[in-house]
Amino acid sequence: MKKNFEEMSYDELLTEFKNIIKANGLKFTSQREAILRTLYDNPQHFTSENLYMLVKQRHPDLTIGIATVYRTLALLEENSLVSSISLGIQGKKFEIANKPHHDHLICKECGKIVEFGNEKIESLQHQIAKENGFELTDHLMQLYGVCSECKKET
């Protein structure tokens, strides 16, 4: 049974993380907390390197290595507290999994991003996966086009 972490506050996420740690006989460390905290406060998509640098910047007192970032992201991802997607050229990116699901409509001219959710598409995606014997866990959908303002200009 998969947990649903949508809309959770930081404290709730932290509690979940501690439970996961305890359940696996692991230990709660300041590095692990700093990573979760940084992911929570910056709900963008991170590369491992981005996250590593931001954690160091926000916690100058804490020593942390890139290896710990990789190890912690793997742990968080295994337990669905963060999700990762691979974005074309830009490599693998991570984000904390407490946001409601949405996809993106992106203007090729000005870069404007509109978030949208569409249940019909979601259900068709599940149907397609099912027809092919897949258990759907995730998807990436980005629509590219030209927004109304940029259309005017041309």
Using CB under 7 A, list all residues that contact DNA: 21, 25-32, 47-49, 62-68, 70-72, 74, 91-92
Nearest distance from C-beta of residue 82 to DNA, angstroms? 13
68 within 8 A of 59, measured Cβ to Cβ: no
> Which does residue 110 touch among its own copies, DNA, none (CB within 5 to 8 A, set by kind)?
none
List residues bridging with 115 in a β-sheet: 104
Nearer CB in complex with its own copies: 62/114:
114
Nearer CB in complex with its own copies: 43/117:
117
Nearer CB in complex with its own copies: 14/129:
129
Q: Quick one: which segment of 25-33, 36-44, 47-55, 105-113 binds its own copies (CB under 8 A)?
A: 105-113
Q: Please report whether residue 136 would count as binding its own copies according to CB under 8 A.
A: yes
Q: Distance between CA atoms of 64 and 36, rounded to whole angstroms?
A: 13
With vertex at residue 144, the alpha carbon angle to CA 139 and CA 146, rounded to the nearest 5 degrees, is 155
- Report how many residues bind its own copies under the rule CB under 8 A: 38
